[in-house]
Amino acid sequence: MSVQKTALVTGIAGQDGSYLAELLCARGYRVVGTSHARAGTVEVGSARVDVLQLDLADTAAVAHAVASVSPDEIYNLAARASSAQLFDEPLETAEINGLATVRFLEAIRRHAPQARFCQAASSEIFAGTDTTPQDESTAIVPVNSYGAAKAYGLHMVRMYRSRHGVHASTAILFNHESPRRGEHYVTRKISRAAAMIAAGRATEVELGNLDSRRDWTYAGDAVDAMWRMLQHPVGDDYVVATGKTHSVRDFCKYAFEHVGLDYARHVRVNPAFSGRAESVELRGNPAKLVAQLGWSPSIAFPEMVRMMVDADLKLLEHTG
């Protein structure tokens, strides 16, 4: 009889945390999540998990959580910043997205040396590079507070791995989406607008640059990649991406076509919604992830878009 594994997951209430909780519970894990707001037993997606209230800026509290839970695996998914907040509150961003990583690594070193650790990083660490596609050897050149904090976390994972022998991996996550994405993200804004307009509850949606391109992965596939990292004999860094990009316009086209509409009749471009000027296309090369861990995306881009629209249509039915 196999011994049940325990996983500690920060950011359990977010998109990635919910998919990871489902994956781990389906594999027989005991899952303990953390939240800065509340504690208790809660439903996360289709999983039911125990949640600890934890301030990731509190070094002693992080150490106590790791020591008391004694997890086999730790997934640090918690982060502050949406795409609209990449430059906001740099001190708070450094605290949660950067220093919290070190708090967990140090807690593992001191209290749970058996634990394997996965840090969620971001393609934002490559935003200032001049190379496309990006892989694990691409120069790390962040251009905002969010990317800089994630880059610091990645470097500290590497240091604890080499200096202290911690089984630690970094998942360099490119854009990943799902029906559970927050409504302030452009992808969910589009899927919700398509559903609202199809239902006669809206007539148009305002977006920024329709030609902006991203390497979009399904969030469920992204968390599968993270789980695979911690099953590997040694920790390492992996780009999690599809290797293909699509434009915001492509996303609109698939979303609106799915409900029988022409996006061009309903999408209005508002320059105020455009993000930063992009110096390079952020497109990941997942060759290492595929070769070493046997990962491959299960959901293609058009299917993911349609899934999001269907979920928003269903949500509208339930909200009346």
Query: Under a CB-based contact definition with an 8 Å cutoff, are residues 32 and 50 in contact?
Result: yes
Q: What is the distance between the alpha carbons of residues 83 and 127, in angstroms, rounded to a whole number? A: 13
Q: What is the distance between the alpha carbons of residues 151 and 37, in angstroms, rounded to a whole number? A: 26
254 labelled catalytic: no
The catalytic residue among 124, 152, 177, 218 is 124
Token pair of 294, please? 């046997």
18 labelled catalytic: no
Q: What is the distance between the alpha carbons of residues 167 and 308, in angstroms, rounded to a whole number? A: 35
Token pair of 172, please? 């360099």
From the number of C-beta atoms within 10 Å of its C-beta (0-12, 13-18, 19+), residue 50 rates as: middle
The catalytic residue among 122, 123, 169, 191 is 122
Q: What is the distance between the alpha carbons of residues 168 and 268, in angstroms, rounded to a whole number? A: 45
- Adjacent-strand bridge partners of 42: 49
3-state secondary structure of 258: helix
263 labelled catalytic: no
The catalytic residue among 146, 152, 218, 263 is 146
Q: How many CA atoms within 13 Å lie on the side-chain side of 56?
A: 26
Token pair of 36, please? 């800065």
Catalytic residues: 122, 124, 146
